Amino acid sequence: MTNRVDRRVLLRALVVLVASAAAFFVLTALGTPALAAGTDTAVTHAVASSGEAAAHATQAGTTITAEAAAPAKPGDNRVVQQLVNGLVFGLLLALASVGLSLIYGTTGLSNFAHGEQVSLGALLCFFFTTPQPVSLPLLPFEFSIGLPLIPAAIAAIAVSAGTGWLQDKFLWSPLRRRRVSIVQQMIVSIGLSLAMLNFIQWWFGAERQRLTTSIDERIDMGMFSIGISTLWSVAISLLCLGGVAYFLMRTRTGRATRAVSDNPALASASGIRVDKVVRLVWIMATGLAAVGGILLALYDNAAAFDVGARLLLLMFAAVTLGGLGHPFGALVGSLVIGVAVEMSTLWVGTDLKYAVALAILILVLLVRPQGILGRPERVG
């Protein structure tokens, strides 16, 4: 029965995806103003993965990939290219936002500081990977680390996950124990977000930092092209999201996490140490945010101190669209948002692409208030 229900909701999500893709395809096929615009603009859109990438399209790497991705005929494979870009962006967004969903599910908290965890992950990776002399806050001297990318990424993820442990141990857990209301906790998270944003800017500066100087080689797949490092990012995202799904559905602690998400008081009455589960969720959420931040920075060629803050609304939109607190809501919502954001650039200006994502959020919620995967509960 469960499998049947799950298949049904997945099918529903697929229908939404296909319908939105088809709608965009029809609109583009009808020849909207954006298609009629110059090829350069459209091609730049084709490889722009987010607002930053579009704004910095003059950077060497992006320009090269833009040229590589140039379609032979305008309007021929642009839709497919944008669909692929959207799916990739959606997967990376899912990785960044799945932790937001897990924290909301287990504690009820809408954590506004989650965006900064994404930025922190990316910039910590830069910190560990850069061969330039770097400094730590409050330390009077500089030193160089210059680790290779993969060990640097692992170190950044570990440190980020550590910040999740620290936050829960010294901030969120005491607030919960003192029965501080969820709204008050949310205000605290907004304050923490601002504090972290300023701290990260003070530490790393306002300029965009590149995690790697190498230029991504692109593979021509016929209808679209994709970078090799992007393929790796997609594989890592799928692995991480699959891991989270396996943890939640197949392990005892994962099922306990879902139980805490459903009803913390009853979970405690069943013998589950709710505080331990929530701590684990904080560690996982911040670790996954770091993975998402690093992969987004690689996909975008660079990361800035406010990359997470810019993505926060999209992450909230994805989590809400997918179904608040639903374990796979973040994934489905992110894919829809990713595709909508990237494909909207075919017919509206890049500046409006996030607005399109939020318009889709409103439309879907008007039809399905519980989100795509959310299920209405029986009353009585």
Partner 1 sequence: MSDAPVIVHADDLYAGYLPGIDILNGCSMEVREGELIGIIGPNGAGKSTFLKSLFGLVPIRAGSVKLGDEDITNMRADELVQRGIGFVPQNNNVFPSLTVMENMEMGTYQNPKAFKAAWERIGDLFPKLVDRKNQRAGSLSGGERQMVAMGRALMMDPKVLLLDEPSAGLSPDRQDETFVRTREINKTGVTVIMVEQNARRCLQICHRGYVLDQGTTAYTATGQELLKDPKVIELYLGTLGA
Q: Give contact residues for partner 1 (rule: CB under 8 A).
A: 1-3, 5, 252, 255-256, 258-259, 261-263, 265-274, 375, 377-378, 380
- Dihedral angle, C-alpha 14, 16, 19, 20, nearest 10 °: -120
Q: How many CB atoms lie within 10 A of CB 84?
A: 21
Comparison of 1 and 366: residue with beta carbon closer to partner 1:
1
**Contacts for 346 with CB less than 8 Å, ≥ 6 apart:** 24, 27, 28, 32, 34, 35, 42, 45, 78, 79, 82
Q: Closest distance between partner 1 and the C-beta of residue 94, in Å? A: 20
Q: Is 303 helix (H, G, I), strand (E, B) or coil?
A: strand
Closest separation in Å from C-beta 281 to partner 1: 16
Nearer to partner 1, 130 or 268 (CB): 268
Q: Which one, of 333, 332, 356, lies nearest residue 344 by Cα?
A: 356
What distance in Å separates the CA atoms of residue 180 and residue 213, rounded to the nearest whole number? Answer: 46
Minimal distance, residue 233 CB to partner 1, in Å: 31
Shortest CA distance to 94 belongs to which of 234, 292, 373? 292
Shortest distance, CB of residue 249 to partner 1, whole angstroms?
A: 10
Q: How far is the CB of 268 from partner 1 (least distance, A)?
A: 4
Rounded CA gap, 175 and 111, in Å?
Answer: 14
CB of 229 to partner 1, least distance (A): 37
The smaller minimum CB distance to partner 1, of residues 73 and 177, is found at 177
DSSP character at residue 218 = E
CA distances from 319 to 111, 154, 184, 335 (A): 12, 26, 21, 11
Would you say 7 or 375 has its CB closer to partner 1? Answer: 375
CB of 245 to partner 1, least distance (A): 14
Would you say 130 or 173 has its CB closer to partner 1?
173
Distances, alpha carbon 359 to alpha carbons 261, 329, 340, 355, in Å: 28, 18, 10, 6
- C-alpha 118/C-alpha 193 separation (Å) is 11
Closest approach, Cβ 343 to partner 1, in A, equals 32
Closer to partner 1 by Cβ: residue 87 or 260: 260
Which one, 275 or 306, has the nearer CB to partner 1? 275
- DSSP label at residue 226: E
Secondary structure element (H or E) that encloses residue 134, with its range: strand 134-135
Q: Which is nearer to partner 1, 206 or 269 (CB)?
A: 269
